[in-house]
Structure 1
Amino acid sequence: MNAEHRLGPVRGSTTLQVVFDVDPIRATSRALAERLPELTALVRRRLREKVPTYAADLDPALSVHETERIAAALQSFSDGISGTPEPNEDVIREATSEARSAAQAGLDLNSLIQTYRVAQAVIWDVVLTETASLIPDPDQQLIVQKHMSQFHFRWNDTVVSAVVRAYQDEQRRFFFQSRDRRLRSALRELIAGRTDALPDVAYPLAATHLAAVVWGDRPERTIQDIATAAGTEVVLSVESISATTLAWFALDDHMSAQERLRAGFVPAIGTGVAFGRLAAGLAGFRTTHHQAWRAYRVGWLTNSPVTHYADIALEALFLRDLQATRDLVTQELGPLDLSDPRTELLCETMRVYFAAGCNAAKAATQLQVHERTVAYRLRTVEERLGMDVISRRNELVVALRLLTALRAISSTTSPVGPVVRI
Structure 2
Amino acid sequence: MTGREVPDEYLEGYAQILAEACVTGRRLTRDELESLRTRGERAAEAGLGLRALVRRHLSVTRESWPTLSVTETDRVLAVVEQAIDAFAEGHERAQRLAVRQEEGVRREFIDDLLYGRSDLGRLAERAERFGLLLSRAHAVAVAQGSKPVEDMHPATRQVESAVISRFGERRILLTTKDGRLVCIAPGEQDEVLAFFAKQAHAATDGGQVAIGRPHPGAGGVVHSYEEALNALDLADRLHIEEPVLRAADLLVYPVLTRDRQAMADLVRNTLGPLQSARGGARPLVDTLTAYFDSGCVAAEAARRLSLSVRAFTYRLERIHKLTGANPADSVHRYTLQTAVIGARLLGWPDNDV
For the aligned pair, the TM-score class normalised by the smaller chain equals 0.3 to 0.5
The structure that has the greater radius of gyration is 2
Q: What TM-score results when the alignment is normalised by the length of structure 2?
A: 0.45
